[in-house]
Chain A
């Protein structure tokens, strides 16, 4: 009867999976809840990364549509701290810079306030400013008319106004055709703008033609914002020249900015917040991992007799270890898969709501799944080793 003992072949991957799933099948609710912890952590992280990527994609799309070659010059402060003014001829001067392709300007009419009717108390200005505008401001700043029409050569010298999107909302103007009071004159609203991302001052503006402002509001024509577009390659050169060109006598009284940089900076500020949220997601993931470890420890305690039986059926210590490690990995992987799915759905939902392009980076999904596997392995290691060290007689004696 004596024969040499042959070590049986290793368990197939399929058998390892089957055995690892035993605990999940017999206690599905517990498996679900402990994977849920992991899922929430992964979902949070995937959604944070997804939403921030989608918002970045949206910004890229906006910038590529609006261009990054817009520069604005506005008056700063004089050395004595007073509000500076741009010289009247500055617009023409800027137009003479060789690299500049387009120039336009707004002139702030500081004396004129904007009201819906003459019954509104004088101090309720709603933060709306009246500006005299050049006709090409819209094309230079990349703005679009939402309703009605833009000013033209006929309405340029006529009591007509175009409202920015916020200004129209605050005045309660939904359709063109109504009249608003600017200074002491009634102006007809001929158009309402959409939001202008690169020139947010237009959003709260009531825009009148340059000659109309002089005719009806006694405005002394002075540009307050000069917009320029230049070839992408020359933006830096123009930027350096702009201050001195606008006001050769006092270049330091001119503030030059690039609105697209401001947008990008806003995004970068958001990224700090994204990092924080990502950290919170990681904490949730860690808590989920502890949950899985806890479930596994309890599972090993409860299933001592199963472990004893398996040992009597010929399982080696290694095979018992593998079984519980596989179970922990399965729990974590289920949670990871669920979490990635959930995170992608949240990203898609939020981006669709914000009208952003939906971007779910593959590296985030792969990283999410990968990290759950690492967590599952760490969470399962100690319980698995404990299970494998259990003496078969002790395990069988518990019933």
Chain B
């Protein structure tokens, strides 16, 4: 699903955000990328989401080499294969919830009627079928994040990227959101969650720890080692 090979990202001004990172994520995995701020995890999200290009190394998403794609192809990749969930939801104020979700399909070339139908289904899926025509400001933080998740998954992306999805929520709402993400994972979507919260990371199948632009620990490997030692 995702394959990063020797990825390096140096920002203008000489800050190295990622230093020779290689990472492989299989389809259907549920992965947490954990690290303190400044560890390079946001840059990692941008790489995984094709929002930015590496300075060197290669990024392959869903079989496509991101470095070789035009803006149009990258946009198509994001429109059809990748869903994003952000810490601050990014919902359009004053626009009905159902239309916010329908906008997730706007750039996939689907006509308005069908976008709304699919949006309604996605909202049912996150348990907000009764909130269709509300405006975002009428919803609680947890509900808004569920709307954002509905928008991200309404196009059935194979990869869901969540950037601190519970960062702006209280623990109860956060738990609901995490349950939702896990459900999506169980239905076959590859889910990558970027977080600085160790507890959330611990609850995931695989944890990739980052510090100073590099991967310090990849816990699947540890599990594998432990399993090997036990044998």
Taking Cβ atoms with an 8 Å cutoff, the residues of A that contact B are 1-3, 5-12, 14-15, 18-19, 22, 25-26, 305-306, 308-319, 391-393, 396, 399
Contact = CB atoms under 8 A, between A and B. Distances in A.
Given A311-B78, A391-B52, 5 more contacts: A1-B62, A14-B112, A26-B93, A305-B90, A393-B51
Contact of A396 (B51, B69, B158): B51
Given A1-B158, A8-B108, A391-B52, A313 B78 contact: yes
Closest 5 A-B residue pairs measured CB to CB?
A: A314-B79, A2-B63, A8-B109, A9-B109, A314-B107
A317 B73 contact: no
B108 A314 contact: yes
A316 B52 contact: no
A26 B206 CA distance: 42
**Main secondary structure on A side of the interface with B:** helix
B79 A313 contact: yes
Interface residues of B, number: 37
A310 B76 CA distance: 12
Contact of A5 (B52, B64, B84, B94): B64
Contact of B107 (A305, A306, A315, A393): A315
Contact of B94 (A9, A25, A310, A319): A25
A314 B76 contact: yes
Contacts of B112: 14-15, 18
Contacts of B73: 5, 7
Contact of B79 (A8, A318, A396): A8
A213 B76 CA distance: 99
Contacts of A18: 112
A312 B51 contact: yes
Interface of B: 1, 27, 46, 49, 51-52, 62-64, 69, 71-73, 75-80, 84, 86, 88, 90, 92-95, 103-104, 106-109, 111-112, 151, 158
Given A15-B112, A393-B46, A399-B88, A313 B72 contact: no
A353 to B, nearest CB: 44
B52 A393 contact: yes
Contact of B75 (A308, A316, A391): A316
Nearest to B27: A1
A137 B76 CA distance: 86
A391 B69 CA distance: 16
B106 A19 contact: yes
Contacts of B151: 313
A309 B88 CA distance: 11
8 contacts: A6-B80, A8-B76, A11-B106, A11-B107, A309-B90, A311-B78, A319-B107, A392-B51
Nearest to B103: A313
A8 B78 contact: no
B161 to A, nearest CB: 9
Contacts of B71: 316-317
A189 B6 CA distance: 111
B106 A312 contact: no
Q: Name the residue among A5, A19, A318 with the largest chain B CB count within 10 angstroms.
A: A5
Contacts of A12: 111
Contacts of A15: 106, 112
B127 to A, nearest CB: 22
Contacts of B64: 2, 5
A396 B73 CA distance: 20
Q: Name the residue among B90, B108, B111 with the largest chain A CB count within 10 angstroms.
A: B90
A393 B73 CA distance: 18
Contact of B84 (A1, A306, A312, A318): A312
A9 B80 CA distance: 12
Nearest to A14: B112
Contact of A315 (B46, B63, B75, B95): B75
Contacts of A308: 90
A399 B88 CA distance: 8
